[in-house]
Structure 1
Amino acid sequence: MNPPAAARGRPRAFDPDAALQQALELFWRQGYEGTSLSDLTAAMGINRPSLYAAFGNKEQLFRQALERYLSGPAACFDEALREPTARKVAGRLLQGVVSQLGDPKNPGGCMVVQAALSSGAEADPIRQMLAAQRNDARTALRRRFQRAITAGDLPAGTKAGDLAAYLMAVVHGLAVQAAGGLSRKELQAVADLALRTWPG
């Protein structure tokens, strides 16, 4: 005997989008290993079977939360790459990072940096994924700066790889300092200093 029509395909009793946002904010505050399944189910307002059914395991949930983070709060990176000059790329990126880090509505620091500080065997796949993400970001900046050198927008002697690594180091340093309590004004001062030392 088939179950009643109302029982088949019953809609979830929670909003997956809102639940994913709660997971994102929790991972952002506590890092990957610092966030337990009990923390997640409490914050998302669901039980473990519902979490597994909707998002998979903890690692799969983190990957979905990270995608949401990169396309939302951290979208300034892709936006910066579209700027017409290398200096404007750096300026747009740094301003976006300062705005995100200095927004009191956001958890402190950067989700990518917070999660990268995880330790232990459980977090190895996450560390590897985040390392690949950071490498991809640095590579994208290096290619953008190499095009700027070729176009004469940056001095001919500029090393695109070094400049990309420098900018990423400033961005990640800002995130660590923000997590430690640096004010938006102080973060902005660091970003301004980085731009004052920009080549050309």
Structure 2
Amino acid sequence: MGRPRTFDEEAILDRAMLLFWRKGYEATSMNDLVEELRLGRGSIYAAFGDKHQLFVQALGRYLGRQADLLASALDDRQPALPQLRRLFETLLQSDSACSGAGCFSVNSIAELLPGDAAVAELARAGLRSAEDAFTAQLERARATGELTAAVSPRDAARLLLAQVQGLQILRKADQDPERLAASLNSVFELLRSPSAPAVTAPAADIAPAADPDRAGEPAPAA
């Protein structure tokens, strides 16, 4: 009978998630994990499997937090398009919390696909979940007259999904908050019905998190 584990597996998984998030999969060595997690190799293998299995669990944890954020940020009590806009701002701000590394999911897709089946499965599930959540919100926007008649809620959701994923890539090269705000303002103006109020926000509302003491904390979504 093996000895009981004396560490908090969820806390260890959070630290692994942040390490992979900052460095990427290939650049993170087992020595890095041993040092960051403060566990021996045998303990890591026993609790989480090999490096790839640990990475998949860390990515799954991040995507689970994104799903929780979607569920908590969208409801039927306020106008739909402003809620979606605020959600995008939250996603972009939370993904700046890990030393400016961007979105862990987007980074993993760029680094490991199409060759990693486990990561591909997780990424597809996460994207489908986000698309469904956006679609439900945009169906409500259609019913309340906020969404233009020129696009279906499903197509609008796919446009927004591509927008937020693309912005996570672009902002790694250009973090100008004015350009980021202008891009979001433009896409929401395209989706807004002419009779609905404007859905815009100043650059300050979506600027990267400024507190360096929070740079290593798990993001709300992530």
Matched, 1:99 2:54: no
2:169 counterpart residue number:
176
1:11 and 1:119 map into 2 onto residues whose CA distance is 31
Cα-to-partner distance string for 1:128-157 (whole Å, 9 max, x where unaligned): 321222122112322332243245442444
Q: Are the counterparts in 2 of residues 31 and 117 from structure 1 also a CA contact under 8 Å?
A: no
1:160, 1:35 → 2: CA distance?
A: 40
1:22 aligns with 2:15: yes
Query: Residues 92 and 50 from structure 1, CA distance in 2 versus in 1: closer, same or farther, beyond 3 angstroms?
Result: same
Alignment CA distance shift 1:102-1:59 (3 Å): closer
Deviation larger for 22-31 or 62-71:
62-71
Q: How does 1:104-183 map to 2 (within 5 A)?
A: 105-119=98-112, 123-183=116-176
The whole-number CA distance in structure 2 between the counterparts of 1:189 and 1:120 is 30
How many angstroms apart in 2 are the aligned matches of 1:170 and 1:139?
A: 15
1:109 is displaced (CA, Å) by 0.8
Name the larger-Rg structure: 1
C-alpha displacement of 1:27? 1.7
Identity of aligned residues (%): 31
Q: What amino acid is aligned across from residue 14 of structure 2 in structure 1?
A: Q
> Which fold has the larger relative contact order, with Cα–Cα distance below 8 Å and residues 6 or more apart in sequence?
2
- Output the CA distance in 2 between the equivalents of 1:163 and 1:47: 48
TM-score of the aligned structures, taking structure 1 as reference length: 0.77
In structure 2, the partner of 1:46 is: 39
Structure 2 length as normaliser, TM-score? 0.70
Q: Say if 1:177 and 1:50 are closer, same or farther in 2 by CA, change over 3 A.
A: same
Q: Does 1:79 align with 2:72?
A: yes
Change (3 A) 1:122 1:161: closer
Structure 2 gaps of 5+ residues are 194-222
Distance 1:121 1:41 in 2: 28
Residue 31 of structure 1: CA displacement? 2.9
The alignment covers a number of residue pairs equal to 192
